[in-house]
Amino acid sequence: MPVTMADVAARAGVSKTTVSRVLNGKGELDPSTAARVRQVIRELGYVPSAGAVSLARGRTRVLGMLVPSLSWPWIGEVLQGVADAVEEEGYGLLVFSCSKGEASLQRFASQASAKSFDGLLVIEPEGTLEFIAGLHRGGLPVVLVDDRGHQPEFPSVATTNRLGAQDAARHLVALGRTRPLVVGGPQDLGCTQERLAGFAEVYAGAGMPLEPWRVVDGDFTFEGGYAEIGRLLKAGRLLKASDPGFDAVFAHNDLSAAGAIQALREAGVSVPGDVAVVGFDDVPQASYTDPPLTTVHQPLREMGETAARALMGHFDGTPLAAGPIVLPTTFIVRGSTTGRKP
C-alpha cells in the first residue's frame, strides 16, 4: 500500500497538520521537528500528491469557466484556447454552462461555494452579472472573456469590435454597396453596440447614413438571421427578384450571416451578385457556407488563452490588469462579397 501523510505523522510523532506545514513551508516550525519530519519522509519514500499539496496551500490548481452554452461555435474556440493554456501549466478546468437557466446556475453556485476552483473565467450568461460580481467582491478572482458590457469591476480580455465593423463597412463601400442592412445582436450587449457604431460611422462618413429600418435585432443564431431576412422580404422590401431593397448584409456574427445567406438564396436573390454578406467571428464553419463567408476574424483561441494565463499568473504573483486586454481583429475576404474563392 502507498505511504500516506498519516504514516509519516505517526512515525515522526507529529500531527498531519505539521507534516503538511513541512511540505508546503507554511507556518513557523521548530527546526528540529521539521528536520525529523523530512527524515521520515525520505525513509518512507513518501511522495505527496499534487492535489494534497495544493489543498494544503489553500489552492486547488483548478480554474472554473462559466459560459452561456457550449452550442455556440465561437465559445468552443475560446474554450480550446483556455484548455491549451491550463493544460500547459498543469491546472485543471471545470466548465459550467447555463443552458438550463436557473437550475444550471444553482449547480454552479454550489461548486463556487465549495471553493472547487481558484478563479473564474466568464463568458457572461444573460442575467448573471450581479451574481458574478458578488463572487468577485467575496474574493474570487474573475476574468471576463469578450467584455460584452464594459464592466470596469472585472479584468477582461476583449477584441476590437468597433474597428472590425469599420473594416467590414469600408470593404462594402469600396465594392459600391450603398444600401446595407445590419442584422445585429441583443441590444444590451457591448459588442452589439460597438459593431453597430463602427459600421454606421463609416457609412455616415461616406454620405450614406443608415436608415432605421436597415438595422434589425438578431439573436446570434442561424435561425435568427434567416428569420429577420425572411421577414423583411415578406414585408415588401423585395422589390423584384434581383432587388430586395438592400445590396449588402452585415451580420453581427457568422451564424446570423449564414442564416441570411440561406434566406436570400431561397428568395432567388444572388449572393454576392445582388447582395453581399459579411459576418463577424470567423468560426470554422464560415469557410463552408455557400458561398464562403467574408467575415471579421476574432482571435478567439488567443482570447481564451490570454484570459487563462492572466488568471493563472495572478496566482503566481502577477497583478491582474486594471483595464481590458484588447486583441485586434483582422478582416477575411471570401466569396460572399467578391464572388471569388479566397
Question: HSE of 87 in the Cβ direction (CA atoms, 13 Å)?
Answer: 7
Asked whether the beta carbons of 98 and 105 are under 8 A apart, the reply is yes
Asked whether residue 147 falls in the same domain as residue 180, the answer is: no
Asked whether residue 287 falls in the same domain as residue 319, the answer is: no
Cell digits for 16? 498531519
Please determine, for residue 27, whether its predicted confidence score (pLDDT) is greater than 70: no
Please determine, for residue 211, whether its predicted confidence score (pLDDT) is greater than 60: yes
Asked whether residue 273 falls in the same domain as residue 168, the answer is: yes
Residue 239: predicted pLDDT: 47
Q: What pLDDT, in 10s, does the model give residues 146-161?
A: 865 556 678 899 999 9
Burial class (CB in 10 A: 0-12, 13-18, 19+), 80: middle
Can you tell me the distance from the alpha carbon of 57 to that of 55, in angstroms, rounded to the nearest whole number? 5
Asked whether residue 103 falls in the same domain as residue 190, the answer is: no
Give the pTM: 0.79
Residue 30: predicted pLDDT: 81
Q: Averaged over 323-339, what is the pLDDT?
A: 93
Beta-strand relationship, 276-281 and 294-297? parallel
CATH number at residue 135: 3.40.50.2300
The dihedral sign for the CA sequence 143, 146, 149, 152: positive
Total tally of structural domains belonging to the chain: 3
Binning pLDDT at 50, 70 and 90, where does residue 223 land? Answer: very high
Q: What pLDDT, in 10s, does the model give residues 80-97?
A: 999 999 999 999 999 999
Q: Which of 13, 31, 56 is the last residue of a domain?
A: 56
Domain extent, residue 244, equals 161-298+331-338
Asked whether residue 283 falls in the same domain as residue 319, the answer is: no
Sequential DSSP letters for 146-198:
S-TT--TTS-EEEE-HHHHHHHHHHHHHHTT--SEEEE---TTSHHHHHHHHH
Q: Averaged over 43-70, what is the pLDDT?
A: 73
- Mean per-residue pLDDT over the chain, rounded: 87
Residue bearing the bigger pLDDT, 188 or 315 = 315
What's the angle, vertex CA 290, arms to CA 292 and CA 286, rounded to 5?
40
Residue 54: predicted pLDDT: 52
Q: What single DSSP character describes residue 219?
A: -
Asked whether residue 131 falls in the same domain as residue 227, the answer is: no
Please determine, for residue 102, whether its predicted confidence score (pLDDT) is greater than 60: yes
Q: Averaged over 260-272, what is the pLDDT?
A: 94
Asked whether residue 253 falls in the same domain as residue 292, the answer is: yes
- pLDDT over 90 percentage in the chain: 55
Residue bearing the bigger pLDDT, 245 or 250 = 250
Asked whether residue 166 falls in the same domain as residue 282, the answer is: yes
Asked whether residue 272 falls in the same domain as residue 206, the answer is: yes
Q: Averaged over 258-272, what is the pLDDT?
A: 94
Please determine, for residue 314, whether its predicted confidence score (pLDDT) is greater than 80: yes
- Name the strands in the sheet holding 294-297, side by side, starting at the edge strand that comes first in the sequence: 215-216, 180-183, 248-251, 276-281, 294-297, 330-332
Asked whether residue 88 falls in the same domain as residue 123, the answer is: yes
Asked whether residue 111 falls in the same domain as residue 228, the answer is: no
Residue 151: predicted pLDDT: 62
